[in-house]
Amino acid sequence: MWGKLLSTGARIRKGPYTIIFIPHQEFNIGFIVPKRFFAKAHTRNRVKRLLREASASLMSHYRELPKAAIIVKYGNKQKSPPSLNSAIDLLKPLFLEVKNSNSAIVQPQEEQGKR
């Protein structure tokens, strides 16, 4: 599923964040922080925790997100990780776009045939 998502998913970019998504039977979310932006694993893990917390906060406000597989990718070289408030502010319009996107609502042909 994640390989298909990365190769064929719809992409929305804003600032250092990219959201990649495809319709799926259930809601799944993953996070990517490339090694080239933060060389230390503990820093990458901290950024992923911040993204996870920001996404959880946004998903509690936007419960009507479509069933989709989503990857949140952070791609900006900085000296320090982003703050929780800045992550929430920048991710909010991206989650709204996923919510309003037609490509996240329509089921792919191969999944429709399975039912």
Tens-level pLDDT at each residue, the chain (115 residues): 777 788 888 888 888 888 888 888 888 889 999 998 888 999 899 999 999 999 888 888 777 777 888 889 988 777 677 889 988 888 888 888 888 876 655 454 444 444 4
Which pLDDT does position 100 carry in this prediction? 82
Which pLDDT does position 108 carry in this prediction? 47
> Which DSSP helix (H) or strand (E) runs through 14?
strand 10-14
- Ordered domains of the chain (ranges, CATH): 2-104 (3.30.230.10)
Alpha-carbon distances, residue 95 vs 33, 51, 58, 71, 98 (angstroms) = 18, 13, 8, 11, 5
